[in-house]
Every structure is written in C-alpha cells, then in structure tokens.
A and B are shown apart, each in its own frame.
Chain A
Amino acid sequence: DQQVKQNSPSLSVQEGRISILNCDYTNSMFDYFLWYKKYPAEGPTFLISISSIKDKNEDGRFTVFLNKSAKHLSLHIVPSQPGDSAVYFCAASSLTGANNLFFGTGTRLTVIP
C-alpha cells in the first residue's frame, strides 16, 4: 500500500512561471519530508526538506509547504527554469521507522522555454 502518493505523473510549465508539485501521505507517524530531483540515467539528488514542526521551508527558488492536518505537502519552484525539467520525488520518514525513506511515484516536470 502506497504511503506516499504523487497523483500527477506529469506537469508542464512555462519558463518563468511557478511550478507546484503535490504530494499526499497516509501515515500520520511521518515527521520528516524530503524532495528529490532526478535526471535520466542519474541517481536522485536531494533538493529540500521539512520537519513536521514547521509548515514552510525555503531555499532559493524552492519552497516546501507542509499541511499536517491534510497530510499534504507541496514543492513550489519560482521562477521555473528549463534546467528544472526532471522527475521530482517526494519522500517521508518517521522516528519509529528504521530510517527508511518512503517514496512517491514521482512527477515529471517539463519547463517549456
């Protein structure tokens, strides 16, 4: 049973506009959330994270929002650039878990020049 879900397999955005990638989770024990970016034929690279004690974390053009009551998080990229085109994975972990990261199925972002 998928505990972390990314319901949009793909997203296309114009260069310079905002990209919003969404992620939902079912396990209320999750307390740390991460976003990874993956280019073809490469391993995922860490992008940004957020602890459950926060509702927002910002790093340059990337902002992650967490809504614990809705079990929902989102990644905002502003402004979007063509180099942001990649697959984005949402991941979650919990203190009670064995340091596992549970991943969503990914969203392919295409930024159109």
Chain B
Amino acid sequence: DVKVTQSSRYLVKRTGEKVFLECVQDMDHENMFWYRQDPGLGLRLIYFSYDVKMKEKGDIPEGYSVSREKKERFSLILESASTNQTSMYLCASRGTAISTEAFFGQGTRLTVV
C-alpha cells in the first residue's frame, strides 16, 4: 500500500519560531509537493521538487523554504512563523508519467499563536 507520511498531524507554534514540516514517501516518486489548504481557496502550491536537491517555487512561496536531500523526503520550513501561516499543510508525491495521480499525506494542521 502506497504511503505518504507527514511527521505531525497537529502543531502549535509561536510567532517567530522556525518550523519544520517533514514528509516521507515510499513510492520512489521523483516529484514531491507542498500545498496549503485554506477555506474558499482550495489547495495552493507552495513549492515542489522534481528531483533530489531540485526545487521550484509554486504560487505562494513567500515565507517558506524547502529541502530535499533524499529522494523519499521533502521538508517544508517556515523561517519565521506568522499567524497568517496558520493552515492545513498537505504533502504529495507523484511519479513522472503524466497519467498518474498524486498521493497525499494525512495533512498537518498548523496553528501559529
């Protein structure tokens, strides 16, 4: 059974803290993604990576960075957490074939206070 695992289901952090969200996939997928979901805004792409050490900005990269040192792991970093980064964060992975779906992790509900 394919799996994308996010390190935390729920996180509460203080404003200004550096926050790490971890994601691991076991499908040997080249492509990994970080999205955030907010009411009425759908899933917005923050960053994606198509290979180890490669990354591309998505639609809303400001305030975030990413790291992909190993193929199976993709980390999202909030450099200095702010209250407007309170959201549901979703990691996904996808193979290279066009006719494939992306697999999502269970999500991390981050609250910044």
Contacts and interface: CB of A to CB of B under 8 A. Distances in A.
Given A43-B90, A98-B50, A100-B48, A34 B43 contact: no
A31 B98 CA distance: 9
Interface string A77-113: 0000000000001010111001111011110000000
Given A89-B42, A89-B43, A105-B40, A43 B98 contact: no
A49 B43 contact: no
A67 interface: no
Interface residues of A, number: 28
A105 B56 CA distance: 22
A106 B103 CA distance: 17
Residue of B43, B44, B50 most packed against chain A (CB within 10 A): B43
Interface in A35-50: 36, 38, 41-46, 49
Main secondary structure of the interface of B (DSSP, over half): strand
A91 B109 CA distance: 22
Main secondary structure of the interface of A (DSSP, over half): loop
B40 A101 contact: no
Interface of B: 4, 6, 9, 30-31, 33, 35, 37, 40-45, 48, 50, 56, 58, 90, 92, 94, 96, 98-99, 101-107, 109
Q: Give the 9 A-B residue pairs with the shortest CB-CB distance, closest first.
A: A43-B104, A105-B42, A103-B43, A46-B101, A99-B31, A43-B107, A43-B106, A44-B104, A103-B42
